[in-house]
Amino acid sequence: MLFSEYLEFIQSDKLGPNGQIKASTAEPTAVIGASLSRIDGPLKTTGSARYASDHNFPGMVYAVPVGATVASGKIRSIDTSTSEKMPGVVAILHHGNFDPVFRNASGGRNSEQRPPFEDEVVYYWGQYVALAVAETFAQAQAAAAAVKISYAPDAFNVSTNLSDPMPAIGASEGPRVLSHRGDPEGVFTSAPVKIDYTYTTPAETHNPMEMHATVAIWDGKKYTLYESSQGVMNHATVMYQVLGVPRENVEVISRFIGSGFGGKLFPWPHSALAAVASRRLNRPVKLTLSRKMMFANVGHRPRTQQRMRLGATPEGKLLSLCQDYRNHTSINDDIRENCGEATPFLYSTANLQVSSALVRRNVGTPTPMRGPGAVPGLFALESAMDELAIKLNMDPVALRLGLDTLTDEEKNKPFSSRHLKECLQVGSEKFGWSKRTLGVGSMRKGDLILGWGVAAASWSAGRGVAEASVSLRADGSARVSSGTQDPGTGTYTVVAQIVSDKTGIPVRKIQSVLGSSSLPPGPTSGGSTATATVIPAVAEAAVNAIKITLTAATTTKGSPFLGKQVKDLAMSSGRIHLKNQSPESGIPFEEILKLGNIASADGQGKTGGYGSDTDGKNFSSHSFGAQFVEVEWDPGICRLRVSRVVSVVDAGRIINAKTARNQMAGAIVMGIGMGLLEQTTYDSRNGHPINDNFADYVVPTSADHPEIDIHFLDIPDPMIGEYGARGLGEIGLAGIAPAITAAVYHATGVRVRNLPVRIEDLITANVAV
């Protein structure tokens, strides 16, 4: 999905906009930007946080799906005679005996448009074709393994070569032109310096620690779904339609999430399977995916193939830039990986084209994975920039600095806040870039060869609509709630910090309540937009709760402020006081509430979508960054490791330095996985994602964790919202892979254009041992 489509999606709940978000001129209190531990940390480290599959109920049964063992075809027969007689088995469900599941046509976003068990057709290996339900998990697993299915297989395609024949760019059924200015083809043809290479990134599988799971309860009227979801509101919106019940009859609860990386943004078919089974059997149903199913059934980052053509002058002026890319998608769903997300505006050039095509494969439906589009797109763009710098014999940092621009040349608007130049400069300084020597294999550290590489990073900034509620309570505490969720990023803590900033109540006395669709509608945790989206609503709700308290202070008998004007009062440090006097001169807010016999002062707040700002429409908002990577190369044994990363990020104001660093460090390690290790391999003979386990799908371990230096510019974005915070979920991953391959080239002389970098690629490197 294109980011613009995502923004549209998160703004699609037509919540009445609360008018413009005004940039605040006031400096927030010290709690903003503080390095605070997560308030939910103790619950997680002591094992008392309950994740979706930790929920158990009397009478609960276990459901285990059966996956297809062909990539395409029709189910000829399903033999359940053995499995049905096995101990503890309650039901074996499949397309022949399942209850209706519907498509969602009235808002919300689903992952697979095709309802599970809709018919006998199989479109990819692992597609759910039956569901075994039994009294225990082991019984359900055994029964699932005993279901015998025969197929009439059809031809299928899981090829990694995406060069399928198709009409010309721009023609009907041909690649779509997503961006175009000037005369990119003509100017490229006559450019004095040309780069023309094709880069590929493999399918990658989201592998959060916590597997997807649904615990479904049907009470005769209403469904309660315990999910691992990055978007409880959207999940409920989709599921009420999928299940064919009124909206208020579905509640989705996701209090703790063992991360998602985008894989848990939208519902997957197992949720409907569990819910329908719970109604059918009138018993709570628990369905937990196996790690194996994570590779087939719940999305992946699709494979991309990107031809990059850069035309330049010998001095490093970018005359033209063409990115013609393809990505694979599933048979039934059109998922466009937006590889050109950053291309139109990252560097100044008068002639540009981005085109995009979808190539169908018999694989599960792809879905956004951390930095969708931009991350693989920047691998191609930034690799091509590095190759251009080498061809021009220019320093790659200098080349980028020379192409910096403060205008979005695609939209012809100024950036609300762009500091790519500072990122590159600060990063160079911290990394020691000036000590880099140019020659391949020219830098040594003992017996090892060092390689240094750099890449720019970018990720869109956005804000959706949200509501939040803040209560100031007579016991001196506060409560903040919103129907968003904390996928492990720190949202619980961040919303508490906002309330603390407004009220002066310490964070430890603020209860954050998230993760239920019954709360005031909050944002999906995706696209690095949740923080920017939820903050204004929380801030407004806090201000409104304060107003109620101040009003009580002026009207309650016995209040020292009885008869004063609300406008002359303020709340800070948790105390009500005269605006022109210190907080110490006033009294704790809870004294006012107690005097007035008020249990809590409840304020509501709303965030309008980014499109609701008249000012915002005049600017282009993005986050930026610079990634510097050092690799150590031991050619004698062909061993390559990332040893050092310096990451400088311009993501607006940082709300919580600790959780922000945590997000960045995790993303950087994920980038090492993308650069050196990760790829989902589909067996060409049957479409099975064959490396569907953690021994064969290799991700970085702690031992692969390099020295990481993260620096935030911490410059508030005046257009994104009151605090100027843009969000940090994805930017840390952007630019890491191309910085790695640039460093690999510097060390080995091998340019890897097809990720990941493998020993196979490097074993032919001709660097002296």
Using the contact rule CB under 8 A, the part of the chain among 100-108, 422-430, 478-486, 701-709 near another protein is 701-709
- Using CB under 8 A, pick the residue from 413, 681, 715, 751 that binds another protein: 681
Beta strands (DSSP E) in 415-557 are 443-445, 448-460, 466-473, 478-481, 510-513
Beta strands (DSSP E) in 594-746 are 600-607, 622-634, 639-650, 707-712
The verdict on 758 binding another protein (CB under 8 A) reads yes
Task: Return the number of the residue (468 or 669) whose C-beta is nearest another protein.
Answer: 669
Q: Other CB atoms closer than 10 Å to residue 21's CB: what's the count?
A: 25
The verdict on 160 binding another protein (CB under 8 A) reads no
Task: Return the number of the residue (370 or 688) whose C-beta is nearest another protein.
Answer: 688
Pick out residues in 632-671 that bind another protein (CB under 8 A): 636-639, 641
The helix (run of H) or strand (run of E) holding residue 547 is: helix 530-555
Give 450-471 as a 3 state SS string.
EEEEEEEEEEECCCCCEEEEEE
Using the contact rule CB under 8 A, the part of the chain among 345-353, 435-443, 652-660, 699-707 near another protein is 699-707
The verdict on 447 binding another protein (CB under 8 A) reads no
Pick out residues in 62-121 that bind another protein (CB under 8 A): 69, 87
- The two tokens of residue 214 are 């649904």
Torsion sign, CA atoms 8, 10, 11, 12 = positive
Beta strands (DSSP E) in 259-387 are 285-288, 304-312, 318-329, 351-360
- The two tokens of residue 371 are 């930095």
The verdict on 703 binding another protein (CB under 8 A) reads yes
Residue listed under structure tokens 């592998």: 207
In the complex, least distance from residue 639 CB atom to another protein, rounded to whole angstroms = 7
In the complex, least distance from residue 79 CB atom to another protein, rounded to whole angstroms = 17
In the complex, least distance from residue 89 CB atom to another protein, rounded to whole angstroms = 13
Using the contact rule CB under 8 A, the part of the chain among 116-124, 384-392, 465-473, 695-703 near another protein is 695-703
Task: Return the number of the residue (661 or 688) whose C-beta is nearest another protein.
Answer: 688
The verdict on 159 binding another protein (CB under 8 A) reads no
- Count of chain residues binding another protein (CB under 8 A): 33
| CA–CA separation, 422 and 649 (whole Å) | 9
Pick out residues in 123-142 that bind another protein (CB under 8 A): 138, 141-142
Nearest C-alpha neighbor of 310 from the set 232, 152, 195? 195
- The two tokens of residue 174 are 């041909």
Using the contact rule CB under 8 A, the part of the chain among 207-215, 236-244, 255-263, 691-699 near another protein is 691-699
Task: Return the number of the residue (102 or 694) whose C-beta is nearest another protein.
Answer: 694
The verdict on 50 binding another protein (CB under 8 A) reads no
Task: Return the number of the residue (429 or 696) whose C-beta is nearest another protein.
Answer: 696
Catalytic residues, by residue number, are: 730
**Any bridge partners for residue 327, and if so which?**
304, 358
The verdict on 320 binding another protein (CB under 8 A) reads no
| CA–CA separation, 519 and 221 (whole Å) | 20
| CA–CA separation, 257 and 382 (whole Å) | 33
Q: Other CB atoms closer than 10 Å to residue 121's CB: what's the count?
A: 16
In the complex, least distance from residue 498 CB atom to another protein, rounded to whole angstroms = 40
The verdict on 209 binding another protein (CB under 8 A) reads no
Nearest C-alpha neighbor of 621 from the set 403, 425, 463? 463
In the complex, least distance from residue 769 CB atom to another protein, rounded to whole angstroms = 9
The verdict on 763 binding another protein (CB under 8 A) reads yes
Nearest C-alpha neighbor of 752 from the set 472, 453, 477? 453
Using the contact rule CB under 8 A, the part of the chain among 200-208, 212-220, 497-505, 753-761 near another protein is 753-761
Task: Return the number of the residue (39 or 64) whose C-beta is nearest another protein.
Answer: 64
Task: Return the number of the residue (193 or 699) whose C-beta is nearest another protein.
Answer: 699
Q: Other CB atoms closer than 10 Å to residue 438's CB: what's the count?
A: 10
| CA–CA separation, 111 and 124 (whole Å) | 15
Q: Other CB atoms closer than 10 Å to residue 314's CB: what's the count?
A: 11
Q: How many residues does the structure list for the chain?
A: 769
- Using CB under 8 A, pick the residue from 557, 614, 701, 768 that binds another protein: 701
Q: What's the one-letter identity of residue 333? A: D
Task: Return the number of the residue (142 or 601) whose C-beta is nearest another protein.
Answer: 142
- The two tokens of residue 255 are 């209090």
Helices (H) and strands (E) in the chain, counts: 18, 29
Task: Return the number of the residue (69 or 157) whose C-beta is nearest another protein.
Answer: 69
- Using CB under 8 A, pick the residue from 700, 718, 724, 729 that binds another protein: 700
The verdict on 698 binding another protein (CB under 8 A) reads yes
In the complex, the residues that contact another protein under the rule CB under 8 A are 69, 87, 138, 141-142, 145, 636-639, 641, 676-677, 681, 683, 685-686, 688, 690-691, 693, 695-696, 698, 700-704, 758-760, 763
